[in-house]
Amino acid sequence: MITINEHYLKLQASYLFSDIAKRVAAFQESNPSKEIIKLGIGDVTKGLTPASIKAFHSAIDEMADDATFRGYGPEQGYEFLRQTIAGNDFQSRGADISADEIFVSDGAKCDTGNFQELFTQTTIIGLPDPVYPVYLDTNVMAGRSESFVDGRYQGIVYLEATKENGFVPSLPQEKVDLIYLCFPNNPTGSTISKSELKTWVDYAREHKALILFDAAYEAFITDDSLPKSIYEVEGAKEVAIEFRSFSKSAGFTGTRCAYTVVPKECTAYDSHGNKQLLHGLWNRRQSTKFNGVSYPVQRAAEAVYSQAGKVQCKELIDSYMNNARVICQTMDNLGYKYVGGKNSPYIWIDGRMDSWQFFDVLLKETGVVCTPGAGFGKCGNGYIRLSAFNSLENVTEAMTRLTGKLSPS
Ligand code: PLP
């Protein structure tokens, strides 16, 4: 008899985006002439840069010619991209990461979801609330949680990010083995200082834990004092894995390219308490289950680091961050408290009421769609997330509507 992995049955259906879609559809039906502006989605809206497109086209031409055609590539990524990443994203900032510690992939979603496979089922998971849901659901699927009670899975240690701690979780009181951190954060847009990040690295070293550090939004950091990589913190290479993505920094959400850094000295323990290197395990996992990112996509990603690519990506990011400034300015004028928007494309706003209630107010009064914070965890209730991924025209129009309808306090 074929039996299922019953841990899948514990998963809570995510109604967040379907609920949003239903409410928006109902509103549109009763207000057919009202133009809806979506500031809820975490997807980019601007096209790829000319530098990436040029590289894409010429790589496709290479693929069309027998003399330059490439079949299966290295599962870990082509050397040209791994070298470029190591030099530009790490060595240039004093982080000693080499090309063979970079594993190119088709997304930070897959990598953050898959990495937990390397660890035993009894691993105790510590993850933020609110959270990017992939970290949680993949551990539930793997059987590392018990049942879902009162909005939370038992057996998971939730690291609360609240206004009291500036949306940067404090160290856990109980022991955790695998810690997920994401900065700049989705959904709150909060950032972490180097000294705060060091407390996590020190915790991991002391407790033989491992940090999975999701830096998918590092390109949005404008404050130079903030760490872009966890490897800027001394001692992190032994206890941290880092995830990066070209999705938001270079418009690759539909193109798919990301990478994971597994330093050669990073370790976990076997059942005898002996240290085991994670680099070899991840390499084995990827070469068994993954066949690499396509050659044209890797050339397009390499072009992100060319002189023209850097300028063009900065323009992309600056345009989204300008939208974020417009949103923050409006919230300041209206007297709403928020975090994010300064080093992140997300603005996490205290709605002063239940997050779905605030969602409905915004939709009905202004035709603006946000994401209710409750969809990201218990601590998200009372908040909404606005995203800067849209045109300046739409963001400006949305903020004008909000200004006309929400009363300042
Ligand atoms: N990590 C975080 C925190 C995200 O918000 C997202 C996408 O929204 C991802 C990872 C996924 O990145 P990718 O498009 O590379 O799979």
Each residue of 226-260: pLDDT tens digit? 999 999 999 999 999 999 999 999 999 999 999 99
Per-residue pLDDT, 74: 97
Domain check: are 298 and 341 in the same one? no
Per-residue confidence band for 406, with pLDDT thresholds at 50, 70 and 90:
confident
Could you tell me if 304 and 314 are in contact, meaning their C-beta atoms sit under 8 angstroms apart? no
Query: What's the CATH number where 159 sits?
Result: 3.40.640.10
Do 159 and 172 meet the contact criterion of CB atoms below 8 Å apart? yes
The pTM assigned to this predicted structure is 0.96
So what's the pLDDT on residue 120?
97
User: CA-CA distance, 267 to 210, in Å (whole number)?
Assistant: 8
Nearest ligand 1 atom to the CA of 185 is 3
Q: Is residue 148 part of a domain?
A: yes
Residues 349-378 have pLDDT tens digits of: 999 999 999 999 999 999 999 999 999 999
Query: Which strand (E) or helix (H) includes residue 50?
Result: helix 50-63
Both 114 and 218 in one domain: the answer is yes
- Residue 387, strand partner residues: 346
Q: Give the distance (Å) from ligand 1 centre to CA of residue 132.
A: 8
Neighbours of 8 (CB within 10 A): 11
C-alpha 214 to ligand 1 mean position (Å): 8
- Judged against a pLDDT cut of 80, whether residue 389 lies above it is answered with yes
Q: Please check whether residue 258 lies inside any domain of the structure.
A: yes
**What distance, in Å, lies between the first and last C-alpha atoms of the chain?**
63
Residues 144, 222 within the same domain: yes
- Is residue 73 within 8 Å of residue 310, measured between CB atoms? no
pLDDT for residue 409 is more than 70: no
Please give the residue range of the domain that contains residue 330: 6-47+308-405
Ligand 1 atom 8 nearest Cα: 42
**Residue 340 and residue 204 share a domain:** no
Q: How much distance in Å is there from the Cα of 258 to the middle of ligand 1?
A: 9
Looking at the fold, whether 233 and 132 belong to one and the same domain comes out as yes
In a domain, 345, yes or no: yes
Checking if the pLDDT of 393 tops 90, the result is yes
pLDDT recorded at residue 68:
98
Q: Is the distance from CB of 178 to CB of 212 less than 8 angstroms?
A: yes
Ligand 1 centre from 109 Cα, in Å? 5
Q: Are residues 43 and 91 in the same domain?
A: no
What does each C-alpha distance from 133 to 10, 14, 112, 129, 206 come to in angstroms?
A: 14, 9, 11, 10, 28
120 and 259 share one domain: yes
Q: Whose CA is nearest to atom 12 of ligand 1?
A: 108
**Mean pLDDT of the region 135-157:** 95
- Cα of 216 to ligand 1 centre, how many Å? 6
pLDDT score for 19: 87
Of 260, 286, 306, which one is at a domain's C-terminal end? 306
Which amino acid, 69? F
Pair (131, 35) in one structural domain: no
* Band of residue 314 on the pLDDT scale cut at 50, 70, 90: very high
Q: Which of 272, 306, 340 is the last residue of a domain?
A: 306
Asked if residue 12 has pLDDT above 90, the reply is no
Q: How far is the CA of 259 from the centre of ligand 1 (A)?
A: 11
The atom number, within ligand 1, closest to the CA of 253 reads 14
Please tell me the predicted confidence (pLDDT) of residue 90.
96
Residue 1 belongs to some domain of the structure: no
Say whether both 82 and 150 belong to one domain: yes
Closest CA to 219 of 136, 288, 310, 150: 310
Which of 136, 245, 348, 389 for mutating ligand 1's site (highest number of atoms within 8 Å of CB)? 245
Q: Is the domain of 295 the same as that of 185?
A: yes
- What's the domain count of the chain? 2
- Cα(324) to centroid of ligand 1, in Å? 19
* Cα 355 from chain centroid (whole Å): 22
Supply the mean pLDDT for the chain: 96
pLDDT at 16 over 90: no
Q: How far apart are CA 136 and CA 140, in angstroms?
A: 6
Mean pLDDT of 59-84: 98
Among 217, 247, 389, residue to substitute to test ligand 1 (most atoms within 8 Å of Cβ): 247
**Cα-to-centroid distance, 312 and ligand 1 (Å):** 21
Inter-residue contact 283 to 103 (CB < 8 Å): yes
Give the pocket of ligand 1 (CB within 6 Å). Answer: 42, 107-109, 112, 132, 182, 186, 214, 216, 245, 247, 253, 258
Do 141 and 12 share a structural domain? Answer: no
Ligand 1: atom nearest CA of 109 is: 16
- Give residue-wise pLDDT tens across range 122-131: 999 999 999 9
Residue 242 and residue 102 share a domain: yes
Residue 354 lies in a domain: yes
